[in-house]
Amino acid sequence: MTSQADWLRGTLFALALVMTGPVLADNKPDDGKVTNFLLDNGMEVVVIPDRRAPIVTHMVWYKIGSADEPPGKSGIAHFFEHLMFKATTNHAAGAFDRAVSAIGGSNNAFTSYDYTAFYETVVPQALEQMMDFEADRMRNLILNDDVIATERDVILEERRSRIDSNPQAVLGEEVDATLWQNQPYRIPVIGWMQEMEKLNRADAKAFYDKYYTPNNAVLVVAGDVEPQAVKVLAEKTYGKVARGPDLPPRIRPVEPEQNTRRTVTLADARVSVPSFSTQWVVPSYHTAKPGEAEALDLLSEILGGGNRSRLYQALAVQQGIASSACAYFQGTMLDATNFTVYGAPRGEAKLADVQAAVEAEVARIASEGVTSGELEKAKDRFVRSMIFARDKQDSMANIYGATLATGGNVRDVEEWPGRIRKVTADEVRQVAARYLSLNHSTSGYLLPKTENEEMTLGAQPHAAMNIQEVKSEKGMIAWLVEDHTVEIVNIGFAFNGGITQDPVGKEGMANLMAGLFIEGAGNYDSDAFQMKLDDAGAEMGLEAQRHYICGSVCMLPKQQDAAFGLLRLALNAPRFDQGPIDRVRAEIVSDIVGSERDPDAIAQRKWLRAIYGTHPFSRPGEGTKESLAGITPSDLLAFHKAIFARDGLHIAVVGDIDANTLRERLDQLFGDLPEQQTLAPVADVVPK
């Protein structure tokens, strides 16, 4: 169970730890430049210094993914990700995990089509230890038949539970195998069951010896470190690992041109809400002509990148026929990639109507293009996204790691915002017209069954977190970590209460209210408020938890007046207009219906009822179709008034704002809220 103090400590700690930007060395600012170098054995190293919090993210990326697997050995890249956590000649199985856990760190790994990555987040003093462990398992794994058999059973069960029992995942595999006719992206990362079952020790040993070498790896270290110290440690640990065989260029089969529309349909009794996706093969950043990938990125943002996108505004807001409508572009793939649009109907709307509306919008952009206004807003959002990525240490490590592991370099990352800025509206229209033809598309349909009977750093100084308590004239208290090295301000706040305050018969109230946080306030209706929020370059949201309602806002200091003004309105003067209520409620109901036949969701609901009985903990936070139907604007206003009050408020702030400014802002934001909450008592849980 999480208490309010736990939340505040956790939020402040998280906000403070993730701030990333110009570095500090011995408490003096340097130029903040990302450093990269090559070890004598061929291992690439990237260092992203951030000396403000005593945390380090250490990642090793291997330039080997599922698309590089030998024919008939699908799944071996992911299989080997698992095997890397087994015993070595120097450490017992599980020793690495236990060492990380003992110092309060975290570690894991992931496999993609184009790379496999292993990471640890620890205190700087443990960096050399992490490097020792990773360098050890790079070459000293013990691969015997017992280890192979045991871990093979694990990945087979993983496939059964994650793929074979999930209709959406099954359809995704079928669509990929249809979209890609010749490219290895058609093979699932986890592998095909019949090939996974035959993976053996010889396969694993050959794969290990060929690909798990320093000259096929990238080391990324981000956090409270100094580049030269990282270099010394990398040479001491990884540098003693012998260079492996030189690998040939990663040249894969080229996908032939598609000349007809392809479709895949899956009907399953576990599906409650139908959906569709349409995909096209398009160039990635690694294969595109100059400017094309950037234009495709911006196209995906304008078309379906969020609630200001064309698809969401047209289908969800204006026509009210879609519970979901989006577009995305997987631009970081090593080879060609896919551009996808997706939609699901709301209520009684037909899937065919949603698909027709989505495809009409694609065709409209291909013929008429996009406006200069929406293009500039999309560019602003993309450039902001890179600034906001600096807000998370691991985000920067992932961006640089993925780029280098797929043949890019540090300069590619640094120059990306400038390339985005250069894209013209006509270039966006051209890529839509060139690549997004329905005759070159592959569509997948997921239907309900009934609808388709058819390092040691020794005494080196590390950052200390200076937490200030800031009290406003009206008595609001906030915890502040002042940090002017990145032009970002993060505010986290929480009010006591939450889902347990939902009235009987109107379950889902807190969740619905949270979903309406940016759907209009003061004199701004939903559309106007979100336009203002976009113009202010801010992101904000609200979430209902069991014991509290928590919110956050991320803003750029130079636009803080506008952002604070909008946050004040959202906190003090929500509109709860009927139109947004109906739309957000319908989206929640669509999710509820979609979970009605999901075995995991069914089991979760029954488990909560079994252990909590009639206690509020047993009630679904999202509510039910019936309970949501009875919630009115006046209900939401009363619920908001009961919870959004100063005596139940907790605030944490991190970023480019000083204590005096924050003190004034606290009263601006929260000073007009009621003094006291009116919460219903929640009984203690009595163990059965």
Rounded distance between C-alpha atoms, residue 429 and residue 368, angstroms: 7
Is 687 within a domain?
no
The CA-atom distances, in angstroms, between 47 and each of 121, 215, 218, 229, 396 are: 15, 17, 11, 10, 10
Is 473 within a domain?
yes
Statement to judge: residues 435 and 478 lie in one domain: no
| Residue 28's pLDDT band (cuts 50, 70, 90) | very low
Statement to judge: residues 594 and 520 lie in one domain: yes
Residue 381 near residue 298, CB atoms below 8 Å:
no
Q: Is 36 helix (H, G, I), strand (E, B) or coil?
A: strand
663 Cβ neighbours under 8 A, 6+ residues apart = 470, 471, 472, 473
Could you read off the pLDDT of 424-439 as tens digits, one per residue?
999 999 999 999 999 9
Could you read off the pLDDT of 496-520 as tens digits, one per residue?
999 999 999 999 999 999 999 999 9
Could you read off the pLDDT of 73-82 as tens digits, one per residue?
999 999 999 9
Q: How many domains does the chain have?
A: 3
Is 688 within a domain?
no
Statement to judge: residues 324 and 296 lie in one domain: yes
Statement to judge: residues 577 and 647 lie in one domain: yes
DSSP string, 64-96: --GGGSPTT-TTHHHHHHHHTTS-BSSS-TTHH
Residue 234 gets the label, from left (phi > 0), alpha (psi -120 to 50) or beta, of alpha
| Residue type (1 letter), 237 | T
The CA-atom distances, in angstroms, between 498 and each of 194, 398, 572, 622 are: 48, 34, 18, 12
**How far apart, in Å, do the first and last CA atoms of the chain sit?**
17
pLDDT higher than 70, residue 330:
yes
- Cβ neighbourhood burial of 287 (10 Å; 0-12, 13-18, 19+): middle
Residue whose C-alpha is closest to residue 173's, from 302, 299, 66: 66
Is 681 within a domain?
no
- Percentage of residues of the chain with pLDDT beyond 70: 92
Q: Which pLDDT does position 30 carry in this prediction? A: 43
Rounded distance between C-alpha atoms, residue 119 and residue 57, angstroms: 7
pLDDT higher than 60, residue 11:
no
Statement to judge: residues 283 and 421 lie in one domain: yes
pLDDT higher than 60, residue 170:
yes
Give the relative orientation of helices 410-422 and 292-304 as an angle to the nearest 10 degrees. Answer: 60
Could you read off the pLDDT of 622-669 as tens digits, one per residue?
999 999 999 999 999 999 999 999 999 999 999 899 999 999 999 999
Q: Which pLDDT does position 455 carry in this prediction? A: 37
> What Rg value do the Cα atoms of the chain yield, rounded?
26
By residue range, what is the domain housing residue 496? 467-670
| Residue 32's pLDDT band (cuts 50, 70, 90) | low
Q: Where are the beta strands (DSSP E) in 191-321?
A: 217-223, 262-268, 275-282
CATH number for position 578: 3.30.830.10
Output 538 or 30, whichever has higher pLDDT: 538
Is 676 within a domain?
no
pTM of the model: 0.78
Rounded distance between C-alpha atoms, residue 515 and residue 500, angstroms: 17
Average pLDDT over residues 130-143: 97
For tokens 């096209």, what's the residue? 280
Statement to judge: residues 228 and 267 lie in one domain: no
Of 371-375, 449-453, 482-486, the poorest mean pLDDT is in: 449-453
Could you read off the pLDDT of 191-249 as tens digits, one per residue?
999 999 999 999 999 999 999 999 999 999 999 999 999 999 999 999 999 999 999 99
Could you read off the pLDDT of 584-595 as tens digits, one per residue?
998 999 888 888
Q: Which pLDDT does position 601 carry in this prediction? A: 79
Statement to judge: residues 95 and 169 lie in one domain: yes
Statement to judge: residues 206 and 266 lie in one domain: no
Active site residues: 81
pLDDT higher than 70, residue 8:
no
| Residue 687's pLDDT band (cuts 50, 70, 90) | low
Average pLDDT over residues 6-26: 36
Statement to judge: residues 331 and 441 lie in one domain: yes
Strands 44-49 vs 217-223: parallel, antiparallel or unpaired: parallel
**Residue at a domain's end among 421, 449, 477:** 449
Average pLDDT over residues 20-28: 34
Is 518 within a domain?
yes
Rounded distance between C-alpha atoms, residue 420 and residue 384, angstroms: 12
Q: Which pLDDT does position 456 carry in this prediction? A: 37
Statement to judge: residues 224 and 316 lie in one domain: no
Q: Which pLDDT does position 222 carry in this prediction? A: 94
Q: Taking the CB of residue 453, how many other CB atoms lie within 10 A of it?
A: 6
| Residue 465's pLDDT band (cuts 50, 70, 90) | low
Q: Which pLDDT does position 220 carry in this prediction? A: 98
Statement to judge: residues 233 and 273 lie in one domain: no
Q: How many residues does the chain have?
A: 688
Is 253 within a domain?
no
Statement to judge: residues 219 and 317 lie in one domain: no
Q: At 352, list the tokens.
A: 């065919």
**Residue at a domain's end among 423, 449, 475:** 449
Is 252 within a domain?
no
The CA-atom distances, in angstroms, between 582 and each of 320, 498, 521, 585 are: 9, 21, 16, 5
**Residue at a domain's end among 209, 240, 271:** 240
The DSSP 8-state label assigned to residue 255 in this structure reads P
pLDDT higher than 70, residue 13:
no
Rounded distance between C-alpha atoms, residue 148 and residue 550, angstroms: 45
Rounded distance between C-alpha atoms, residue 236 and residue 132, angstroms: 9
